[in-house]
Amino acid sequence: MFDVRIEDTPVALEQTLRKKAAGGRTVRLLASYAREWKTKGAARPHALPATQQDFYEPYLDELGAQQYWNKVWNFIPQNGSDYTWFIQAPLGSPMHSDPLCEVGCPYAVRGFDFDHIGVLWFSDLVWRGSGWSSDPAHVYDTGLDRSVSAARRELQLGPAHDRLRAALSQAYRILLTRGMSGCHIWLEDKGTRDHLRACLGMTSN
């Protein structure tokens, strides 16, 4: 049976995947390009302070106190274009020691599958009213620079936003289908989270 879960925090998402990994399953964290690649070119991005890593996400813990969850994007040695370290996690790589120490982008996992994946769903693609909407302010994919620029120039939602929404939908389609046994999701936007819960027949928080 395929396992689909919506987690309340990015920490809960990671904890769920760690339990799967402890049972011998392959796991990965994934996200669309809704966060800037600040650590690109860094020799040791995992050693950077939490505030300087690509993901520094606020969340409320069980006591209602604000905490932060941090990760780096998929590390590519010598600023190249080979995602082998993230996919295969070879001996000596950070991913070999901890398969959840990095977040993979759609380009890294295109065509690859894992037992369980965790998707960080950010505010680049959100549910508003009765449909999906793209927000160019949350898109950092250099491959979509022209689409993002065109969408930002539109004074109201139009063809450029539609094209950007279609590209983002394809990116999330890739991410959400990488799990062979389970897909675990944390959503930044409450409205989108509530909509997805309703689609899956889950009770909203």
Q: Identity (one letter) of the amino acid at 22?
A: A
Cα 130 from Cα 83, distance rounded (Å): 37
Spell out the SS3 assignment of 70-113: EEEECCCHHHCCCCHHHHHCCCCCHHHHCCCCEEECHHHHCCCC
For 57, the enclosing helix (H) or strand (E) is strand 55-60
- Helices 159-176 and 145-153, axial angle in degrees (round to 10): 140
> Residue 58 phi/psi, 5° resolution?
-75, 145
**pLDDT at residue number 205:** 55
**pLDDT at residue number 169:** 96
**pLDDT at residue number 53:** 98
**pLDDT at residue number 77:** 80
**pLDDT at residue number 80:** 63
What does each of the 205 residues of the chain score in pLDDT, given as a tens digit? 889 999 999 999 999 999 999 999 999 999 999 999 999 989 899 999 999 999 999 999 989 999 999 999 999 887 666 788 899 999 989 999 999 999 999 999 988 899 999 999 999 999 998 899 999 999 998 888 888 898 888 867 788 899 999 999 999 999 999 999 999 999 999 999 999 999 998 865 5
